[in-house]
């Protein structure tokens, strides 16, 4: 089985996440995409994300309409910072016959060498990289990586949609609509639990 791992804070999950996941799944013939909400995102400021239980439930709602998508709770249940290499070790031990890939934005690849054990990550799960608005081009990204990592990287032709979690949280804080920007089930959940409504907009993307 060939599975793409799509990690992130999903704070909240939005339609650009859905489009990217489906485009990459189709382009690389992935049999499934496992969405992995981070329990404690190691590169986010403290307090900048909604509680993990809410983000996991929103991710479940965002993936419910696609039989190839699945929300996974491993990083939420593990507790502590969510390091990709640790998640991969656990998943490969549990699913030894599964081939994994890692779905990444270009901005994440640009900072990939700052991740814990980036070489091991690339060996365990080839990075499938999609462009994000403002991220460097393919050649610039590869030029910053050592060959042992760069040779594993593949690039997706996914649409570049300028939707960011920080902007959605700010819209919510201002009382503006999230309709058509997040899946309807996610929009209903945000309203039901009054998420993001009273906070100042964190200066991080999600």
Interior CA angle at 34 toward 29 and 39, to 5°?
A: 150
Residue 94's CB is within 10 A of a number of other CB atoms, namely 9
| All structural domains of the chain with their residue ranges | 2-163
pLDDT at 5 over 80: yes
pLDDT tens column, 47-81: 568 999 999 999 999 999 999 999 999 999 987 78
User: Tokens 């499934």 correspond to what residue?
Assistant: 32
pLDDT level of residue 85 (50, 70, 90 thresholds): very high
- Three-state SS at 194: coil
Q: How far apart are CA 101 and CA 25, in angstroms?
A: 10
pLDDT tens column, 142-178: 999 999 999 999 999 877 788 999 999 999 999 999 9
Class of domain 2-163: alpha beta
- pLDDT score for 44: 55
pTM reported for the whole predicted model: 0.90
Burial state string for 160-182 with b = 16 or more CB within 10 A and e = fewer than 16: eeeebbeebbbbbeeeeebeebb
For residues 174-189, give the mean pLDDT.
97
- pLDDT score for 202: 39
Beta strand segments in the chain, E: 2-8, 32-37, 69-71, 99-105, 125-130, 154-155
CA nearest to 144, candidates 121, 118, 173, 171? 118
């Amino acid at each position: 089985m060939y599975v793409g791992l799509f990690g992130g804070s999903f704070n909240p999950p939005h339609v650009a996440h859905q489009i990217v996941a489906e485009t990459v799944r189709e382009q690389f013939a992935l049999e499934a995409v496992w969405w992995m909400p981070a329990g404690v995102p190691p590169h986010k400021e403290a307090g900048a994300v909604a509680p993990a239980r809410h983000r996991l439930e929103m991710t479940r709602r965002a993936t419910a309409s696609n039989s190839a998508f699945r929300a996974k709770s491993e990083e939420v249940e593990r507790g502590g910072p969510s390091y990709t290499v640790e998640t991969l070790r656990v998943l490969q031990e549990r699913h030894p016959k599964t081939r994994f890939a890692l779905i990444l934005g270009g901005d994440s690849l640009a900072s990939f060498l700052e991740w814990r054990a980036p070489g091991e990550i690339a060996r365990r799960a080839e990075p499938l990289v999609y462009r994000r608005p403002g991220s460097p081009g393919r050649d610039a990204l590869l030029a910053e990586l050592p060959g042992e990592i760069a040779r594993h990287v593949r690039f997706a032709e996914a649409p570049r949609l300028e939707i960011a979690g920080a902007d959605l949280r700010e819209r919510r804080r201002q009382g503006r609509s999230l309709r058509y920007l997040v899946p309807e089930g996610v929009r209903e959940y945000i309203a039901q639990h009054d998420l993001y409504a009273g906070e100042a907009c964190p200066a991080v993307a999600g």
